[in-house]
Each structure stands twice: as C-alpha cells, then as structure tokens.
Amino acid sequence: MTHALVLKTFPAGSPRGSWPAEEFAARVREHGRGAEVVMDLAADAFLAVETSPFAPSDTSGHEAPALGAVA
C-alpha cells in the first residue's frame, strides 16, 4: 500500500470533473511543493496529494533509503 499526504479532496461528481483538483495541485506546485491528482475509487473523489522524492517512513519509524542511495 502506498501512503501519501492528502492535501484536499474533490467530489468526482463535480460538473467540472477533475479540473478543480488539477487547478489546486497547480497552485501548490507554484509554491514549490510537489502535488499530483489521483482518483480514490472507493470514495468517488479526486485527491490532491503531496509528492516527494523520498519514500515516507513506515509505521515503526524506519526511514526508507533515498533514491539512488546504497543501503
């Protein structure tokens, strides 16, 4: 299972579809943070999630190695 920080949710039944979520993610990226839009099928919603070049830590607090790092 992949974990991501959900910045904001948008109903999929909106007349404009994913546009509001895409516009929100674009504003977040303008401020120097990574963001993308994904679909949550179970909740029938678009999610604006924060993206990061590093994997989030697991529940025991061990950090995953950075991309390209040798363990």
Instruction: Note the pLDDT of residue 65.
Output: 54
Q: Is the dihedral of CA 21, 22, 23, 29 positive or negative?
A: positive
Residue with tokens 């040798």: 70
Tokens of 17: 């579809």
Instruction: Please write down the HEC assignment for all residues of 15-70.
Output: CCCCHHHHHHHHHHHHCCCEEEEEEECCCCEEEEEEECCCCCCCCCCCCCCCCCCC
Task: Give pLDDT tens digits for 50-67.
Answer: 987 554 544 454 455 555
| Per-residue DSSP letter, 9 | E
Instruction: Note the pLDDT of residue 70.
Output: 53
- Residues (pLDDT < 70) of the chain are 1-2, 53-71
Instruction: Note the pLDDT of residue 4.
Output: 79
Percent of the chain with pLDDT over 90: 58
Instruction: Note the pLDDT of residue 58.
Output: 46
